[in-house]
Amino acid sequence: MSMRVDLLVVGAGPAGLLAAATAAEAGRSVCLVDDNPSAGGQIWRSGIAEQNPEGLRLLRRLEAARAGMRFGWRAVAAPSSRVLRLEQSGQFADVEYSAIILATGARERFLPFPGWTLPGVYGAGGLQAFVKSGFDIRGKRVVVAGTGPLLLAVAAHLREAGARIVSVVEQAPLARLARFSLGLLRGQIGKLIEGAGYALHTAGIPYRTGAWVTSASGGERLENVTIRSGSRILEVPCDMLAIGYHLAPNTELPQLLDCDLHAGYVRVDELQQTSVSGIYCAGELTGIGGVDKAKVEGRIAALAACGQADRAKSLFRDRDRHRRFARHLDAAFALRDELRGLAMGSTLVCRCEDVPYDALAECGSWREAKLHTRCGMGPCQGRICAPAAEFLFGWKPPAPRPPLFPARVETLAHSTDRTA
């Protein structure tokens, strides 16, 4: 099966939804693709129609403008120039496009520490998503830890769902967080109010700054976490640990399409165009900055792709304000050096292929680690261990190769140029 469109949008989070709606309303033939069964991305993930009026309005706009939508389809390869291959449960489809907007978002960053693979240890956003999809967390004692603004949002949500939040543990020092909050007074009042709302919803929960989980322990499953807080070591009994170290952008698809990166993000110009003509990026891919940045970048990218640069320019000021916020986030929640020393020799770094820290410590590069240990070659294809290895050893992961996700042989057999 194959199809041809003016504009292909990959990722139906806030950035992709705004991009697709803007382009479809400008009269372009559009196809919006996402690997989740419904639109919404990370923030509106459990079915935006029921959950979020803004998302619902966007879907209605897309339907009214007759945009094509393919949910549950995943972009896995680029068989030739301006063609993307999608896969869904063994079926595949090629979409030929004149321009493409990549809005594939971000994932949580995990760092290894003793006990991080014990049952009961979750990604912070992962546990939130689990609860959003119906997991009953009532009465559970939960420690929320790591770094980033997501921690307070997760703690507020889990508490509302009935969890007993024992503590929120933020590795960034208080002075940095205070500077960050003060900085929000300049042009980011909305974010300040949002943060204050989370603070209100988490009132009474111990919030430790400059603190981090050094290990998790238990028999069959998690029973206790050890926290370093300044010079003190605290033992905290709990049923669950929700932990994540801010977010890492999903740059695999842009890299497959030869787009340049800068400081870990996709490099774009004022019009959100990447280093490759006709390929645009929007949202977390260009800097972790939240939903408002994603939305305005989606609109700019779509207007630019539709040849309406003048209209796009009117949005630059707003976009630049959100870009500044993204830079402040990166600085405020930069990871402290001590986190590099948490893993013991036997601590797994790549949990798909069971590769411990000491096996990696003998390697000199990501490539060598892959060859000698199979690190990053399991089902997640390095999505979890590569950002960890980059932080621990300073290794730059090589450009990804197709398929971006495990795919059936038939899907690849029809490939040409890029799929070897």
Ligand X SMILES: Cc1cc2nc3c(=O)[nH]c(=O)nc-3n(C[C@H](O)[C@H](O)[C@H](O)COP(=O)(O)OP(=O)(O)OC[C@H]3O[C@@H](n4cnc5c(N)ncnc54)[C@H](O)[C@@H]3O)c2cc1C
Cβ distance to ligand X smaller for residue 10 or 352: 10
294 touches ligand X by CB under 6 A = yes
Contact 323, 333 (CB under 8 A): no
Separation of alpha carbons 136 and 412, rounded Å: 40
**Shortest spacing between CB 408 and ligand X, in angstroms:** 16
Q: Per CB under 6 A, which region of 102-110, 228-236, 262-270, 345-353 contacts ligand X? A: 102-110
Separation of alpha carbons 358 and 349, rounded Å: 9
Cβ distance to ligand X smaller for residue 101 or 350: 101
96 by DSSP, 3-state: which? strand
**Angle at 66 (CA atoms; ends 22, 91), nearest 5 degrees:** 105
Cβ distance to ligand X smaller for residue 59 or 363: 59
292 touches ligand X by CB under 6 A = no
274 touches ligand X by CB under 6 A = no
**Shortest spacing between CB 15 and ligand X, in angstroms:** 3
386 by DSSP, 3-state: which? helix
Q: Per CB under 6 A, which region of 110-118, 170-178, 287-295, 349-357 contacts ligand X? A: 287-295
- Cross-strand pairs, 273: 280
Cβ distance to ligand X smaller for residue 140 or 322: 322
Please, which of residues 320-379 interact with ligand X by CB under 6 A? none
> Looking at 7, 143, 247, 332, which residue binds ligand X (CB under 6 A)?
247
> How many C-beta atoms surround the C-beta of residue 279 within 10 A?
24
Of 237, 229, 190, 187, the C-alpha closest to 212 is 229
284 touches ligand X by CB under 6 A = yes
Separation of alpha carbons 192 and 173, rounded Å: 19
**Shortest spacing between CB 223 and ligand X, in angstroms:** 25
Cβ distance to ligand X smaller for residue 95 or 369: 95
Give whole-number Cα distances, 287 to 22, 34, 280, 329, in Å: 22, 20, 14, 10
Q: Per CB under 6 A, which region of 59-67, 175-183, 245-253, 304-312 contacts ligand X? A: 245-253
Contact 240, 140 (CB under 8 A): yes
> Looking at 5, 7, 9, 12, which residue binds ligand X (CB under 6 A)?
12
Q: Per CB under 6 A, which region of 133-141, 282-290, 339-347, 369-377 contacts ligand X? A: 282-290
Contact 300, 271 (CB under 8 A): yes
**Shortest spacing between CB 219 and ligand X, in angstroms:** 29
As given in the structure block, the two tokens for residue 26 are 């400008």
253 touches ligand X by CB under 6 A = yes
**Shortest spacing between CB 56 and ligand X, in angstroms:** 16
The structure tokens 């986190």 sit at 339
Cβ distance to ligand X smaller for residue 116 or 357: 116
> How many C-beta atoms surround the C-beta of residue 226 within 10 A?
17
**Binding residues for ligand X, total number by CB under 6 A:** 34
Of 243, 11, 283, 264, the C-alpha closest to 109 is 243
Helix (H) or strand (E) holding 23: helix 14-25
User: Contact residues for ligand X (CB under 6 A)?
Assistant: 10-16, 33-36, 41-43, 74-75, 103-108, 125, 150, 153, 247, 250, 253, 283-284, 290-291, 294, 404
